Structure 1
Amino acid sequence: MVKLIALYRHPENRESFDEHYQNVHTPLVEKMPGLKKLEVTRIVGAPMGGEAKFYLEAAMYFEDRKALDDAMNSPEGRASAKDLMGFAGPLVTMMIGEVTREE
């Protein structure tokens, strides 16, 4: 299993960001072919206290790298990427990870 990870830094306007993320971006992501699971985590702090560097983390799970690549190259994947760059381009860091252990 592989996952596409998106880490978002704190937006200037959290309400506007949350509204767009929940009502526009998430529905686009959920249409990506081959998506097994979408997990979104609101970062609430850092272990030593204070505000964390990141605001939100999203993990999109796919069966394998080919399924992820196919999803990203699909019309739904391209629509999701276009939307992401439009509302959160400067805030997001994207990574691909290979799941090595699951509970």
Structure 2
Amino acid sequence: MTVSYFALYRTPDDPADFEQHYFGTHVPLVEKTPGLVANRVHRVTRQVVGEPAYFLVAELVFESAEAMKSAFRSPEWAASGQDLQSWGGADLVTMFAAEPHPSAGQQS
């Protein structure tokens, strides 16, 4: 069963500068992470309720919890984390791991 690691980025002060670094430097580093099956980045186009306002949602998909744990110990993952810290992205992000709920997609 696949598992996902989500990064929810709050709206930065300078969205253009954020995107330039995020897509120009950070994403290429993340995509070198061993065991990564997919990197799905979504721009939030409308937030209906809730705080804070989100700008981007990244979903990093791994084929299993074990693959994700192994990836998190890799030098490639460490490099992406160092990059995130270096440009202040860590101040804007909430991160968590999740797996599909066993009842998801089932009809009643």
Give the TM-score, by structure 2 length.
Answer: 0.85
In the alignment, the residues of structure 2 paired with residue 28 and residue 86 of structure 1 have an alpha-carbon distance, to the nearest angstrom, of: 13
In the alignment, the residues of structure 2 paired with residue 65 and residue 40 of structure 1 have an alpha-carbon distance, to the nearest angstrom, of 20
1:53-64 equivalent positions in 2, closer than 5 A: 53-64=53-64
1:9-28 matches, within 5 Å, as 9-28=10-29
**1:5 match:** 6
Higher helix share: 1
Whether the 8 Å contact between 2:47 and 2:54 is mirrored in structure 1 is: no
Tell whether 2:49 aligns with 1:35: no
- Residue 6 of structure 1 and its aligned partner are, at CA, apart by 0.1
Q: Secondary structure at the match of 1:7?
A: strand
Superimposed CA distance per residue, residues 34-53 of structure 1 (whole angstroms, 9 cap, x where no aligned partner):
000110000011236xxx71
1:33-86 deviation line (CA, Å, top 9, x unaligned): 0000110000011236xxx71000000000111111111110101001111122
Residue type of the partner of 1:42? R
1:67 pairs with 2:67: yes
2:72 maps to amino acid: M
Code of the aligned partner of 1:34: G
Provide the rounded CA distance (Å) in 1 between the counterparts of 2:78 and 2:28: 13
Larger radius of gyration: 2
> Root-mean-square deviation (CA), in Å?
1.7
Aligned partner of 2:95 in structure 1 is 94
SS of 1:45's partner is coil
Runs of 4+ aligned structure 1 residues displaced above 6 Å come to: none
Q: Could you list the runs of 5+ residues in structure 1 that have no partner in the other structure?
A: none
